[in-house]
């Protein structure tokens, strides 16, 4: 079975402007394709993605088209440039939009991104890769992704303003090459592992008993959906409704 | 086979002072033991651990005793309090000391913490859990650990100074209980998976060909050891020397 | 002379949706107005602000209208909500757009935001205020702002999802009230001080001698403009061109 | 009147091992001395500083000797190396110890570090300067320091392990030189300004009225001391007791 990777390029620059982050992502894609992974890159800023934290903000919002692909992937790679020492606003916007997935579950009651593997690609002309990578991978793990060892690759020049990845021939950096290779291989290793042996749905859905006697106001419980599903039982309406969201992913490959 | 977890409590306070972080870690231990995991807690500040980035700083340094246990574990949990919005100095010191493991490899040429699963426990009277958890899990992933989904649990009060976990009865928080359960189960799920199916040593050691024509000065290549081992071949002296470092771990269980 | 404050609300939600961040910012405004400061709030997401790092991205970009007000203020307050533990994408976008000001200087050759005082307001339903505030204030200081003591105010609930500032009656928090008052007063104290005694232009423009013999490729020197101006001398064309950018600010009050 | 600067070097390495951070700090000192500032460097790890958050942890703790100098300075510079993308454990330990100053006030009821100016020096072989500087300057501002524009200087090599500041001749970086000069001058500009015009004690002590009707448990109010002093009135016992703590500073210069 072929693994499928979606790579979200969170550069600030619309096509066809050259993207330094894409240049490094292309090397990741080379590795992934050599490992028989089907890759699709999405340059987020080319789409009309609205600010917000739901799955569909309406009014021409094109995030649902991106989300559909994300949910069907085994591997999710976020690429970002660095501005002022942290990840780009477009990257932050993507993470915010993924908040909407907390309202859904997969067919066993876990968040939809369970059994997806996360990785990150960062470029900047200096400083900020650890912060950008750490936050992004942590956010992905919160959303349900598994993070393999060495799941980041980045390139940076030395202190201060200077040329970016393409102009500086960042690919000549042995560290960037090494981490690019390691990240690419490890996301595939873990994706295959999780495909063959999904994370069991034990202990990662909330028992309703835990909630007993605790006041949970209306509208604040979105992350408690797994608990509601557990109470409802397998054949209930929430199950049926939400199951379709992740069905494509399982049946598609 | 029984999984083994080592939990490093990075509170600033020496025993027998009560530790809020330990109080939450104890709930993690309850979960882990119910899943048949053997747990050992180490309160780092009770040991004479020296500042530094090597495996043994000499002069009575007790880090080697801790490191030995870390390397023999399937699950590594870091517990930390928050001070000034970030993880404690003791936690940072522990991460710095783990830098020394970059100089070692396991029997297949990966960093010694490959196939170990990482998790984190954070307590504070307010704010800082995401930063402390994100950095710590990212550092562990860099060192070779795999990070499962929802691999963090934390408790915080609301803005400003206030009571800590024990005094505030933090365990009554449904969010803390949920994340405690999820984290505990997921580190075990992944530890079992990696025990049965270790991450293949493909693509996560550096081919020497990549280094060709690149100037790598003496003393700067510690993280390139896997590459040197690859060139040397299985029976070489580096292999023999370093294999012993992680042998205990594999044979021990 | 009346001080002038511009407050940028970086909520994700367009008007007329209620903004929790605005609710806390309104308390800051109460303090500022009691100190005779003229306040203008801008809800950034109500404008067509484009992603980018220049002062005008063209094609209907409304950032120049906002920037003009920012440059004319004595006090610049950034308000942001927290998403996934860090500042909002809109806040990051605002900081990215301020990058454009590095290409300008004030009448004495410093960055245009020299002698402006920075502050920050953060709300979230939990965790992330320190990270959001620290990055934002640091970025403002890099851009030229002075940061007074206790220049942040925030409100957060305890761990996990929950009600936000308005619903939770966050204003009942003594810590939030205290920091709100302190921040408001200190930005005014410093603004008055810097108005009466601007930071002397000694040592904060780059002498060309420093650059001698160092290769600085074309298009990478934007932050070196002060040096070029110094070489050019007071009456040169760069001086004349850029002086107009900050003239309004000085003459306006 | 001569300004006085205290520079805390937070390297992990004890004397006489060469410190890369000190090498860059020495350039800061060159600038400061040329501006007639009296400088004293303290290498923290050469002292027996204990983990904790009080002003004196007892049992041979040498922090009080350092703290006394910090409180008598007009300028406080923190120098730190980067490990795993963030500031060193020694730097974090120093910040934690400064927590103790929240329990004291100056002669007008502000935190003792009011009217002190903060700056930061960071070195690493790659990545992490923004995070280290942002957190450290933010913490200093919380403690009462004022942060001038461009109050940080740093040097970093490009991505991955590599030579450090001394070996790499980091001082040849125009960006590091520029920021070193700017930071040095700006901390002096602001220190002189605050010496001549201290921040007025208006609005930065807490009125007791604000606290009315709010439950503040015993032992949680340390940061509320200014409020208690306000209620007590100028001649009260808390005033007399605490005034001595900062007296040396004012009378000393």
pLDDT tens across B184-230, in order? 999 999 999 999 999 999 999 754 444 443 434 333 334 444 555 55
Look at strands D75-83 and D37-43 and give their pairing.
unpaired
CB contact under 8 A, A176 and D159: yes
What is the Cα C167 distance to its own chain's centre?
Answer: 28
Interface list for D 8-37 with A (CB within 8 A): none
The span from the first CA to the last CA of chain D, in angstroms, equals 7
By the CB < 8 Å criterion, does A222 face chain C?
Answer: yes
> Is B125:D217 a contact under the CB 8 Å cutoff?
no
pTM of the predicted model as reported, rounded to 2 decimal places = 0.89
Q: From C174, which residue of chain B is nearest by alpha-carbon distance?
A: B160
3-state secondary structure chain D: CCEEEEEEECCCCCCCCCCHHHHHHHHHHHHHHHCCEEEEEEEHHHCCCCCCCCCCCCCCCCHHHHHHHHHCCCEEEEEEEEECCEECHHHHHHHHHHHHHHHCCCCCCCCCCCCCEEEEEEEECCCCHHHHHHHHHHHHHHHCCEECCCCEEEEECCCCCCCCCCCCCHHHCHHHHHHHHHHHHHHHHHHHHHHHCCCCCCCCCCCHHHHCCCCCCCCCCHHHHHHHHHHHCCCCHHHHHHHHHHHHHHHHC
The Cα angle at residue C115 between residues D98 and D70, in degrees rounded to 5 = 20
For B47-65, write each residue's pLDDT tens digit: 999 999 999 999 999 999 9
- What is the mean pLDDT of the segment spanning B98-105? 90
Poorest-pLDDT segment among A194-203, A211-220, C239-248, D112-121: A211-220
Indicate if the pLDDT at residue D210 is higher than 50: no
pLDDT tier at B174 (50, 70, 90 boundaries)?
confident
The H or E element spanning position A7 is strand A4-9
CB contact under 8 A, A159 and D84: no
What letter would DSSP give residue C147? B
For A83-106, write each residue's pLDDT tens digit: 999 999 999 999 999 999 988 888
Q: Tell me what pLDDT residue B236 has.
A: 57
How crowded is residue B26: how many other Cβ atoms within 10 Å of its Cβ? 16
Poorest-pLDDT segment among A236-240, B54-58, B81-85, D82-86: A236-240
Contacts of C62 (CB under 8 A, 6+ apart): C47, C48, C49
CA-to-CA distance for D208 and D221, rounded, in angstroms? 12
> Neighbouring chains of B at 3+ CB pairs within 8 Å?
A, C, D
C134, C196, C211: residue with CB nearest D174 = C211
Which residues in A lie closer than 8 A to residue D130 (C-beta atoms)? 84-86, 127-128, 131
Q: What percent of chain B has pLDDT over 70?
A: 81
- Residue A74, token pair as written in the block: 């085994």
Contacts of D85 (CB under 8 A, 6+ apart): A129, A130, A131, A134, B135, B138, B139, D127, D128, D131
List beta partners, residue D120: D78, D152
- What is the mean pLDDT of the segment spanning C11-25? 98
Shortest Cα distance from B116 to chain A (angstroms)?
9
What letter would DSSP give residue C213? T
Q: Tell me what pLDDT residue B159 has.
A: 87
CA-to-CA distance for A191 and A72, rounded, in angstroms? 13
What letter would DSSP give residue B217? -
Q: Tell me what pLDDT residue A229 has.
A: 52
For C137-175, write each residue's pLDDT tens digit: 999 999 999 999 999 999 998 888 888 999 999 999 989
Residue keyed to tokens 């969010």:
B175
CA-to-CA distance for D132 and A54, rounded, in angstroms? 33
Choice between D87 and B162, residue whose per-residue pLDDT is larger: D87
The mean pLDDT value of chain D amounts to: 86
CB contact under 8 A, A159 and D154: yes
Q: Tell me what pLDDT residue C222 has.
A: 41
Q: Tell me what pLDDT residue B249 has.
A: 39
- Rg from Cα positions in chain D: 19
B130, B149, B202: residue with CB nearest A144 = B149
Q: Tell me what pLDDT residue D108 has.
A: 87
Q: Where are the alpha helices (DSSP H) in B7-128?
A: 20-34, 63-71, 89-98
The mean pLDDT value of chain C amounts to: 86
pLDDT tier at A143 (50, 70, 90 boundaries)?
very high
pLDDT tier at C7 (50, 70, 90 boundaries)?
very high
Indicate if the pLDDT at residue C214 is higher than 80: no
φ, ψ of residue C78 in degrees (nearest 5): -105, 125
Most confident option among A93-107, B100-114, B182-196, C92-106: B182-196
CA-to-CA distance for A206 and A230, rounded, in angstroms? 8
Indicate if the pLDDT at residue D174 is higher than 90: no
Q: Tell me what pLDDT residue B95 has.
A: 98
Domains and CATH numbers, chain B: 4-196 (3.40.50.360), 208-251 (no CATH)
Indicate if the pLDDT at residue C218 is higher than 50: no
pLDDT tier at D233 (50, 70, 90 boundaries)?
low
By the CB < 8 Å criterion, does A166 face chain C?
Answer: no
Q: From B141, which residue of chain A is nearest by alpha-carbon distance?
A: A149
CB contact under 8 A, C161 and B174: no
Indicate if the pLDDT at residue D128 is higher than 70: yes
Contacts of D96 (CB under 8 A, 6+ apart): B12, B83, B84, B88, B89, D51, D52, D53
φ, ψ of residue C65 in degrees (nearest 5): -65, -40
A170 SS3 class? helix
Q: How many residues does chain A have?
A: 253
Q: Tell me what pLDDT residue D195 has.
A: 98
Q: Tell me what pLDDT residue C233 has.
A: 60
CB contact under 8 A, C89 and A93: yes
Q: Tell me what pLDDT residue B215 has.
A: 39
Indicate if the pLDDT at residue A108 is higher than 80: yes
Q: Tell me what pLDDT residue A250 has.
A: 42
CA-to-CA distance for C126 and A152, rounded, in angstroms? 27
For D71-80, write each residue's pLDDT tens digit: 999 999 999 9
> Is B176:B99 a contact under the CB 8 Å cutoff?
no
Shortest Cα distance from A103 to chain B (angstroms)?
16
For C184-204, write each residue's pLDDT tens digit: 999 999 999 999 999 999 999
The Cα angle at residue C84 between residues C82 and C86, in degrees rounded to 5 = 50
> Is B123:B164 a contact under the CB 8 Å cutoff?
yes
For B3-20, write each residue's pLDDT tens digit: 999 999 999 999 999 999
CA-to-CA distance for A48 and A56, rounded, in angstroms? 12
> Is B83:D53 a contact under the CB 8 Å cutoff?
yes
Choice between B246 and D232, residue whose per-residue pLDDT is larger: D232
By the CB < 8 Å criterion, does C211 face chain D?
Answer: yes
Nearest to C81 by CA among C124, C24, C26: C124
CA-to-CA distance for A87 and A85, rounded, in angstroms? 7
A-D C-beta contacts closer than 8 Å: 72
List beta partners, residue D7: D41, D77
CA-to-CA distance for C63 and C104, rounded, in angstroms? 16
CB contact under 8 A, C96 and A90: no
Indicate if the pLDDT at residue D230 is higher than 80: no
- What is the mean pLDDT of the segment spanning B160-179? 91
- What is the mean pLDDT of the segment spanning C65-85? 98
Q: Is D229 left (phi over 0), alpha (psi -120 to 50) or beta?
A: alpha
Q: Tell me what pLDDT residue B31 has.
A: 97
The span from the first CA to the last CA of chain B, in angstroms, equals 7
CB contact under 8 A, A210 and B138: no
CB contact under 8 A, A163 and C12: no
ipTM value of the model? Answer: 0.86
By the CB < 8 Å criterion, does C162 face chain A?
Answer: yes
- What is the mean pLDDT of the segment spanning D146-173? 93
> Is B20:B165 a contact under the CB 8 Å cutoff?
yes
pLDDT tier at D223 (50, 70, 90 boundaries)?
very low
Choice between D181 and C253, residue whose per-residue pLDDT is larger: D181
Look at strands C75-83 and C3-9 and give their pairing.
parallel
Q: Tell me what pLDDT residue D162 has.
A: 85
Q: Tell me what pLDDT residue D160 has.
A: 85
B230 SS3 class? helix
By the CB < 8 Å criterion, does C146 face chain D?
Answer: yes
The mean pLDDT value of chain B amounts to: 86
Indicate if the pLDDT at residue C241 is higher than 50: no
For A22-63, write each residue's pLDDT tens digit: 999 999 999 999 999 999 999 999 999 999 999 999 999 999
pLDDT tier at B246 (50, 70, 90 boundaries)?
very low
């Amino acid at each position: 079975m072929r693994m499928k990777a979606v790579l979200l390029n969170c550069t600030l620059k619309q096509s066809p402007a050259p993207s330094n982050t894409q240049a490094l992502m292309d090397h990741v894609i080379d590795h992934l394709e050599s490992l028989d992974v089907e890759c699709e890159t999405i340059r987020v800023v080319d789409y009309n993605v609205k600010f917000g934290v739901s799955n569909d903000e309406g009014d021409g919002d094109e995030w649902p088209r991106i989300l559909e692909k994300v949910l069907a992937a085994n591997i999710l790679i976020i690429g970002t440039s660095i501005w002022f020492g942290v990840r780009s606003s477009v990257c932050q916007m993507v993470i915010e939009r993924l908040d909407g997935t907390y309202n859904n579950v997969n067919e066993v009651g876990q968040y939809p991104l369970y059994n997806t593997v996360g990785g990150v690609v960062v470029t900047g002309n200096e400083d900020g890769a650890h912060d950008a990578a750490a936050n992004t991978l942590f956010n992905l793990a919160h959303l349900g992704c598994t993070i393999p060892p060495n799941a980041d690759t980045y390139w940076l020049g030395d202190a201060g303003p200077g040329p970016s990845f393409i102009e500086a021939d960042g690919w000549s950096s042995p560290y960037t090459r090494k981490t690019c290779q390691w990240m690419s291989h490890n996301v595939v290793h873990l994706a295959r592992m999780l495909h063959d042996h999904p994370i069991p749905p034990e202990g990662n859905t909330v028992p309703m008993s835990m909630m007993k006697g605790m006041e949970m106001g209306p509208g604040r419980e979105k992350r408690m959906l797994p608990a509601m599903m557990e109470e409802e039982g397998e054949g209930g309406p929430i199950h049926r409704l939400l199951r379709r969201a992740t069905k494509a992913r399982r049946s598609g490959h």
